[in-house]
């Protein structure tokens, strides 16, 4: 799979071959909510073209084998029902629902996901405009300069993080205290 082929998450800026899986696991929302929130077509999955091609090739191999005959017999029963549906009516219904649903879902997500606080300036920002723990490119460069100025890592830092976690602090709270992401904290605590 080529790196250029991956999809960029609009919430965190990272790139994934299977963006749908990332959205569900990391951002606690459904793929449909993400698609409507960002104006993406709900009829298309959030996977890269190379991953889609691999899935299609695997499905073709399955359908060519003995399991495929059994599956095709089941599909034939559903084909009759699908044949009576008017594709234009189905398309119009989906297009009519999407503009009404997107603002409602976006408002629900804003209420569900609390704003983040920039580790440099303290300004609140929404996950939709975040790239890191900072609110802007200027704050990010300041944050990176501060990290370089801090020098090498403190060897007791993981022990202090573990103590905070045992005291009931969340990964995100520990991350804010140390100027790193909650995922990085979780990584440090599970690897050590």
Of 158, 178, 177, 176, the closest CA to residue 166 belongs to 158
SS3 181: coil
DSSP three-state, residue 125: strand
pLDDT band at 129 (very low <50, low <70, confident <90, very high): very low
Q: Is the pLDDT of residue 104 over 80?
A: no
Q: Structure tokens of 30?
A: 């459904």
Average pLDDT for 42-70: 83
Lowest average pLDDT, out of 28-32, 45-49, 108-112, goes to 108-112
Of the candidate ranges 57-61, 97-101, 185-189, the one whose mean pLDDT is the lowest: 97-101
According to DSSP, the residues that pair with 47 across neighbouring strands are: 18
Q: What structural domains does the chain harbor?
A: 3-112 (1.10.10.1550), 116-191 (no CATH)
d(CA 143, CA 133): 9
């Amino acid at each position: 799979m080529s790196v250029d082929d991956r999809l960029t998450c609009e919430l965190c800026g990272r790139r994934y071959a299977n963006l749908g899986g990332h959205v569900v696991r990391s951002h606690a929302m459904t793929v449909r909510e993400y698609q409507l929130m960002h104006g993406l077509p709900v009829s298309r999955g959030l996977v890269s073209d190379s991953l889609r091609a691999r899935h299609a090739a695997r499905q073709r191999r399955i359908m060519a084998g003995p399991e495929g005959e059994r599956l095709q017999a089941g599909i034939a029963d559903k084909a009759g029902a699908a044949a009576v549906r008017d594709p234009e009516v189905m398309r119009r219904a989906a297009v009519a629902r999407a503009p009404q649903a997107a603002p409602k879902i976006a408002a629900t997500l804003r209420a569900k996901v609390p704003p983040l606080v920039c580790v440099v300036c303290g300004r609140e920002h929404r996950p939709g405009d975040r790239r890191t723990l900072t609110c802007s490119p200027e704050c990010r460069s300041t944050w990176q300069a501060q990290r370089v100025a801090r020098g090498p890592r403190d060897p007791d830092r993981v022990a202090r993080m573990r103590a905070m976690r045992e005291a009931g602090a969340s990964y995100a709270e520990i991350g804010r205290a140390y100027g790193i992401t909650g995922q990085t904290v979780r990584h440090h605590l599970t690897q050590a």
